[in-house]
Amino acid sequence: MAERKVPMAPVQLEMWHAEQATRSARENVYCAFKLHGRLDVDALGRALAAVVARHEPLRTRMVVDEEPVQLISDSVSSSLEPIEVAGEAEAIDLIRADADTRIPLDTLPLWRISLVRLPDGDHILGLVFHHIVVDGWSVYVFLADLGEAYGQAVSGRDPSLAPLPYTYSDYCHEERYRSDSEKFTKILAHWRKLLPATPPELHLPRDGKRIDGAEARADALDTFLDASATAYMNRHARASRCTVFTLILDAVGVTLAEHGDTDQVTVGVPFHNRVKREQRPLVGFIANMLPMTMTDISRRGTDHDRLDYAKSVIAAALRYPSVPPEVLMRELYGLTDPEPLTFCLNVESPQDISYGLTGIDLTEIPVHNGTIFHDFELTLMMMSDHAIGDLTYDADLYSRSRADALWTGMKSTLIRPTS
């Protein structure tokens, strides 16, 4: 087995350093699907092999060679053997346990796939990846490629996927060059104007404490916006000439300012960061967390004033979206071990990447492994006539009533009459 050395992208390098100080599975990216129909297990296994052959990060491990680097193997075993269980509850328990098991960075592969066969002949497919080799967008790419290769296999053809003209290695080399270039000084000057003079902190009232050295224990509050609320937000966004995301960011800022008794709020916003067309078909860690700081919230006057300001905050953050927040904290504030941002806001829409398995009905099954990286993480999936998600929170530091109060405040800000 031959391996090729490639530098890590800056976002990977920051994650690698953070992972040296934890024992948890907080950086696992995972999902599960129920497969209803007559599944060809052999065809699925051959399709998986084709996907692994196409995408370098699925054949990658991380080691130290003078500095942390990634080693890309020319091949990785991808066998898929069904596990027999007595029922769906047992299957979900197995997949949840898998999602809660840490993936060592120096071993191949940095992902696990489970196929569980139910007594009625249906299956549950569980996917677990280490975040250092995938982001949320990558999961959709993986599923789309798996579906294409599976379709080839069940039709009697040898599953194969076209080689990528632009690879994740290309992306890593480009990003490392950018971080060492003269342009990086200009990028830092831009972010220095956006972020506060002192490190951004948000002190929300805490309801408990964690034992020193213990990993964070997470709980989740379901979040839901019905058809009426969603229609109102869409109308409000059109009338205000902004996006629904702008409305949500504003509501988060207003609510956190009220509960934190502050007029300055910094929210971490995941951005897919695939600004070039050739990056879109890649499996790999390209997304980045953008710190968006809103100041003088209470003095912004009307909703219209605040939304115009929120639009400017978003536009400025998206100008240079590739610098990891840990790098900004070090370069701008001299923090060698920066704490993660308190609140993360992730607003998603159904991707325009279609996926599926020929002859199989796929239904996603909610799974949560009980870990968290930030104090609060609000995720909302915006559908055509509703929004659904969860507010995950550090259950050692905050109570469920605290999380409920935050979500109630955000929701009331979103759907109250405008001023």
C-alpha closest to that of 106 among 61, 69, 70, 73: 61
| For residue 179, pLDDT beyond 70 | no
pLDDT single digits (tens) 394-413: 999 999 999 999 999 999 99
What pLDDT does 349 receive?
85
Residue 124 CA to residue 88 CA, distance in Å, equals 8
pLDDT single digits (tens) 218-265: 999 999 999 999 999 999 999 999 999 999 999 999 999 999 999 999
What pLDDT does 223 receive?
96
- Token representation of residue 58: 């699925």
What type of residue is 159?
A: P
pLDDT single digits (tens) 42-59: 999 999 999 999 999 999
Q: Degrees (nearest 5) of the Cα angle 158, 161, 166?
A: 160
What pLDDT does 228 receive?
95
Average confidence (pLDDT) over 204-215: 86
The neighbour count for residue 93, using CB atoms within 10 Å, is 12
Residues 316, 194 contacting (CB under 8 angstroms) = yes
Order the strands of the 123-130 sheet from edge to edge: 83-84, 111-117, 123-130, 28-36, 361-365
What pLDDT does 418 receive?
60
> In sequence order, what are the residues at sequence separation of 6 or more whose Cβ sits closer than 8 angstroms to the Cβ of residue 260?
202, 203, 204
Q: 3-state class of 165 per DSSP?
A: coil
**Bridge-partner residues for 250, per DSSP?**
none
What pLDDT does 201 receive?
86
What pLDDT does 213 receive?
72
What is the DSSP secondary-structure string of 196-219? -SS-----PPPS----TTPPP-EE
What pLDDT does 366 receive?
86
Query: What integer best gives the mean pLDDT of the chain?
Result: 93
**Bridge-partner residues for 131, per DSSP?**
none
What pLDDT does 6 receive?
96
Average confidence (pLDDT) over 337-364: 89
What type of residue is 277?
A: R
Backbone angles phi, psi at 34, to 5 degrees: -90, 130
Per the listing, tokens 């200009």 go with 186
What is the DSSP secondary-structure string of 251-263? HHHHHHHHHHT-S
Tabulate helix, strand, coil % of the chain (nearest 5).
Answer: 40, 25, 40
What pLDDT does 64 receive?
94
Pairing of strands 264-271, 288-295: antiparallel
Average confidence (pLDDT) over 155-183: 89
Q: What's the number of CA atoms in the CB half-sphere (13 Å) around residue 207?
A: 12
Q: 3-state class of 328 per DSSP?
A: helix
| For residue 95, pLDDT beyond 60 | yes
Per the listing, tokens 């609320």 go with 229
What pLDDT does 419 receive?
54
Residues 51, 142 contacting (CB under 8 angstroms) = yes
pLDDT single digits (tens) 99-119: 999 999 999 999 999 999 999
How big is the chain by its Cα radius of gyration, in Å?
Answer: 22
| For residue 212, pLDDT beyond 90 | no
pLDDT single digits (tens) 310-327: 999 999 999 999 899 999
| Cα dist from 153 to 77, 92, 163, 418, whole Å | 18, 27, 18, 55
Residue 345 CA to residue 112 CA, distance in Å, equals 27
pLDDT confidence band for 368 (50 / 70 / 90): confident
Which domains does the chain show, CATH number per domain?
A: 3-170 (3.30.559.10), 183-415 (3.30.559.30)
| For residue 357, pLDDT beyond 70 | yes
